[in-house]
Amino acid sequence: MASENGVCFQVVLFCMFFAVANSIDLSYPAAFNFGDSNSDTGELAAALGFLLAPPNGQNYFKPPSGRFCDGRLIVDFLMDAMDLPFLNAYMDSVGLPNFQQGCNFAAGGSTILPATATSISPFGFGVQVSQFLRFRARVLELLAGKKLDKYIPAEDYFEKGLYMFDIGQNDLAGAFYSKNLDQVLASIPTILLEFETGIKKLYDHGARNFWIHNTGPLGCLPQVVAKFGTDPSKLDVLGCVSSHNQAAKTFNLQLQTLCNKLKGQYPDANVTYVDIFTIKADLIANYSKHGFEQPIMACCGYGGPPLNYDNRVSCGLTKILNGTKISAKGCNNSSAYVNWDGIHYTEAANQYVASQILAENYSNTPSPNKMPFLL
Ligand SMILES: *[C@@H]1O[C@H](CO)[C@@H](O)[C@H](O)[C@H]1NC(C)=O
Ligand SMILES: *[C@@H]1O[C@H](CO)[C@@H](O)[C@H](O)[C@H]1NC(C)=O
Ligand SMILES: *[C@@H]1O[C@H](CO)[C@@H](O)[C@H](O)[C@H]1NC(C)=O
Ligand SMILES: *[C@@H]1O[C@H](CO)[C@@H](O)[C@H](O)[C@H]1NC(C)=O
Ligand SMILES: *[C@@H]1O[C@H](CO)[C@@H](O)[C@H](O)[C@H]1NC(C)=O
Ligand SMILES: *[C@@H]1O[C@H](CO)[C@@H](O)[C@H](O)[C@H]1NC(C)=O
Annotated catalytic residues are 37, 341, 344
Whether ligand 4 lies within 6 angstroms of the CB of 331 is answered as yes
CATH of the domain at 98: 3.40.50
Could you report the per-residue pLDDT of 22-64, keeping only the tens digit for each? 334 678 999 999 999 999 999 999 999 999 999 999 999 999 9
pLDDT digits (tens, 9 = 90+) for 270-306: 999 999 999 999 999 999 999 999 999 999 999 999 9
Residue 311 Cα to ligand 5 midpoint, Å, equals: 27
Give residue 214's domain range: 4-292+349-359
**Ligand 2 within 6 A of CB of 220:** no
Q: Which atom of ligand 6 is nearest to the CA of 365?
A: 5
253-264 pLDDT, tens digit per residue, is 999 999 999 999
Residue 332 Cβ < 6 Å to ligand 6: no
Q: Give dist(CA 251, CA 184) in Å, integer.
A: 10
Alpha-carbon distance values, 30 to 22, 26, 160, 241 (Å): 18, 11, 8, 38
Ligand 4: distance of its center to the CA of 314 in Å?
20
Most confident of 233-237, 356-360, 364-368: 233-237
Residues in contact with ligand 5 (CB, 6 Å cut-off) = 3, 7, 291, 293, 333, 335-336
Atom of ligand 4 nearest to the CA of 332: 1
Q: Which atom of ligand 2 is nearest to the CA of 282?
A: 14
Average pLDDT over the chain, rounded to an integer: 90
Q: Whose CA is nearest to atom 5 of ligand 1?
A: 25
Q: 5-19, 121-135, 238-252: which range is least confident on average?
A: 5-19
Nearest CA, atom 3, ligand 6? 363
Contact between residue 354 and residue 77 where contact means Cβ atoms under 8 Å apart: yes
Which ligand 4 atom sits nearest the alpha carbon of residue 329? 13
* C-beta separation of 45 from 61 below 8 A: no
Q: What is the mean pLDDT of residues 205-228?
A: 97
What is the per-residue pLDDT for 148?
A: 85
Q: How far is the CA of 137 from the centre of ligand 4 (A)?
A: 52
Residue-wise pLDDT tens digits, 108-118? 999 999 999 99
Say if 369 falls within a structural domain: no
pLDDT attached to residue 360: 65
Query: Measured in angstroms, how far is the CA atom of residue 294 from the centroid of ligand 5?
Result: 11
For ligand 3, the distance from its centroid to the CA atom of residue 178, given in whole angstroms, is: 25
Which ligand has its closest atom nearest to the C-alpha of 269?
1
If one residue of 361, 362, 370, 371 were mutated to test the ligand 6 pocket, choosing by the most ligand atoms within 8 A of its CB, it would be 361
- Does 160 fall in a domain? yes
Supply the residue whose CA is at minimum distance from atom 2 of ligand 1.
270
Using the mean position of ligand 2's atoms as its centre, give its distance from the Cα of residue 264 in Å.
32
Between 159 and 94, whose confidence is greater?
159
- Number of domain units in the chain: 1
Query: Is 325 a domain residue?
Result: no
Tell me: cis bond preceding 217? Omega within 30 of 0 counts. Answer: no
Helix-strand-coil percent breakdown of the chain, rounded to 5?
A: 40, 10, 45
- In whole angstroms, give the CA distance from residue 368 to residue 78: 25
Task: Give me the torsion for CA of 33, 34, 36, 37, rounded to 10°.
Answer: 10
| 191: Cβ contacts below 8 Å, ≥ 6 apart | 112, 113, 168, 171, 251
E runs forming strands in 236-282: 270-274
Ligand nearest the Cα of residue 6 is 5
| Residue 303 forms part of a structural domain | no
- Please report whether residue 306 resides in a domain: no
| Ligand nearest to the CA of residue 319, numbered in listed order | 3
Residue 364 lies in a domain: no
Question: Whose CA is closest to atom 2 on ligand 4?
Answer: 332
- Provide the percentage of residues in the chain whose pLDDT is more than 90: 84
Domain assignment present for 272: yes
